[in-house]
Amino acid sequence: MEQNAPQSAAVKTKSRENRYFTNMRKHWMLYLMALPGVLYFIIFKYVPLGGSMIAFQNYQIMKGIFGSPWIGFDNFTFLFTYQDFYNVLRNTAVIAFYKLLFGFPAPIILAVLFNEVRHMLAKRVMQSLFYLPHFLSWVVVGGIVFELLSNKGVVNMFRGWMGLDSILFMQQERFFRPIVVLSGIWKEVGWGTIIYLAAITGINPNLYEAAVMDGANRWKQTIHITLPTMFPTILTLFLLNIGNFLELGFDQVYNLLTPMTYAVGDIIETYVYRAGVLQGQYSVTTAIGLFQSVIGFALLWIFNRLARKTEQGLW
């Protein structure tokens, strides 16, 4: 019996390998379609992870990664004792919180509203209008925002008609964060509805018919059928968003930032641009990036643990 055990294990292993290669030959087109995505993640996501060692070095371009001297955690020590880093981190966290609080529910609400539109032509036109801003670059969107909120822009023009004084919105700190959040919602809310609309499409129509039979109106149908059925999709997208909590994106903030709003608008990405690209502090900025990744992973792990109580976690 003891001699047959290794032979049995070898037979099972060979059988699994045969099934694997048979499956590959049978579905080779699907594997071929997946290949570009796999290569993308390997080349642009996994390979660059090796460059994280720069965070523990005094990196010098001429010496390269393997020739630069190791300095341990000195770059992290510098970050946590540098006052400007705390200001940048606070700005990033505050704007990220506002975006999560107001930006994340926006496509959910819009998707539910789209679902209530019964005239198909009107629904498609509205969807197209809401999708369009997603394809505009932040350079264009930033220009639009500056024009709308300028001293002679549309907003101040309406204020003038009501007898109010003009406001330099883009030069005042108290307006910067709301502008960032609202412009982000305007640009991405339509595109974000696509997944939620797909989830709504998958809801069994019999549920709505049964609710109508029980006398439920459209509001009760939304509260008791649509939203609960969408909950797994909402939770999954929330977890994916929380993992990128401190990654606001460079383009938006950089194109909306002015010297008068640096105190409340300077975030990690803009600081990395100045310190890393303009000043050549590659080791420090790599340490910041590694810090972002650790915080993102910690938040994802914590919220995934909470989500598992509803049996809806990512893993």
Task: Return the CATH number at 77.
Answer: 1.10.3720.10
**Average of pLDDT values for 273-300?**
91
Judge whether 158 lies within some domain: yes
How many domains does the chain fold into? 1
Judge whether 43 lies within some domain: no
pLDDT reading at 11 higher than 60: no
Residue 97: pLDDT band by 50, 70, 90 thresholds?
very high
**Average of pLDDT values for 133-157?**
94
What pLDDT score was predicted for residue 314?
A: 76
pLDDT reading at 4 higher than 70: no
Contacts 24+ apart (CB under 8 A), 228-234: 229/199, 229/200, 229/202, 229/203, 230/108, 230/196, 230/199, 230/200, 231/312, 232/312, 233/195, 233/196, 233/199, 234/108, 234/196
pLDDT reading at 8 higher than 70: no
Domain range for 302 is 57-310
Judge whether 200 lies within some domain: yes
Indicate the pTM of the whole model. 0.86
What pLDDT score was predicted for residue 62?
A: 87
Residue in the block written with tokens 């883009």:
170
In this predicted model, what pLDDT tens digit does every residue of 213-255 receive, in sequence order? 988 898 999 999 999 999 999 999 999 999 999 999 899 999 9
**Average of pLDDT values for 94-104?**
95
Judge whether 276 lies within some domain: yes
